[in-house]
């Protein structure tokens, strides 16, 4: 999966791929300058996510089109019908404890999935990974 993701990102950067449907995983850590349109399927639940997702488009000083397709969900409808409220909101502040072991473990799992841990001899550290993922 990480190789497929990297190939898609490369195709977008080089203009070989014209569009991609993605989860909100594209929210962070991706800089693909040629994205010009972002379609949000509903209000993601907080303004930080709205601006992170919408901010994937138009990153190189280009204009961008951001479309939020709302459902009948009451929160979606509220945001769609109260645009002054929606556009006046700032991203929420988030505070986490960087030493929280649960957060650290999730980050380690993600990092190991993207780039598997290897021993000095080149073999994968599967024993350690099975401990982390259970």
Give the model confidence (pLDDT) of 57-94 as tens digits.
Answer: 877 767 889 999 999 999 999 999 999 999 999 988 88
At 27 the three-state DSSP class reads helix
Answer yes or no: is pLDDT of 112 > 90.
no
Q: How many domains does the chain have?
A: 2
> Positive or negative, the Cα torsion across 5, 10, 12, 17?
negative
Q: Report the share of the chain in percent with pLDDT over 90.
A: 25
Instruction: Using pLDDT thresholds of 50, 70 and 90, give the confidence band for residue 127.
Output: low
d(CA 55, CA 18): 18
Residue 93 within a domain:
no
* Contact predicate 90/62, CB 8 Å: no
* pLDDT for 13: 79
What's the pLDDT score for residue 131?
60
Is position 95 within any domain? no
Question: Of all helices (H) and strands (E), which one includes residue 113?
Answer: helix 101-114
If one compares 115 and 102, the residue with the highest pLDDT of the two is 102
Put simply, whether the predicted model's pTM sits higher than 0.85 gets the answer no
What is the reported pLDDT for 71? Answer: 95
Contact 33, 60 (CB under 8 A): yes
In a domain, residue 94? The reply is no
Are 60 and 112 members of one domain?
no
> CB under 8 Å to 131, separation ≥6 — which residues?
none
In this structure, the answer to whether residues 32 and 83 fall within a common structural domain is yes
pLDDT digits (tens, 9 = 90+) for 24-65: 766 556 666 677 888 999 999 999 989 888 887 877 767 889
Domain region containing 116? 101-133
């Amino acid at each position: 999966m990480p190789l497929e993701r990297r190939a898609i990102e490369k195709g977008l950067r080089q203009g070989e791929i014209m569009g991609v449907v993605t989860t909100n995983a594209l929210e962070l850590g991706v800089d693909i300058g040629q994205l010009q349109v972002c379609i949000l399927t509903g209000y993601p639940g907080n303004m930080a996510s709205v601006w992170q997702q919408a901010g994937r488009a138009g990153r190189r000083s280009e204009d961008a089109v951001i479309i939020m397709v709302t459902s009948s969900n009451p929160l979606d409808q509220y945001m769609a019908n109260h645009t002054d409220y929606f556009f006046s909101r700032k991203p929420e502040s988030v505070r986490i404890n960087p030493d929280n072991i649960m957060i650290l473990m999730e980050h380690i799992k993600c990092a190991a999935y993207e780039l598997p841990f290897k021993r000095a001899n080149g073999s994968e550290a599967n024993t350690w990974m099975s401990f982390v993922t259970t």
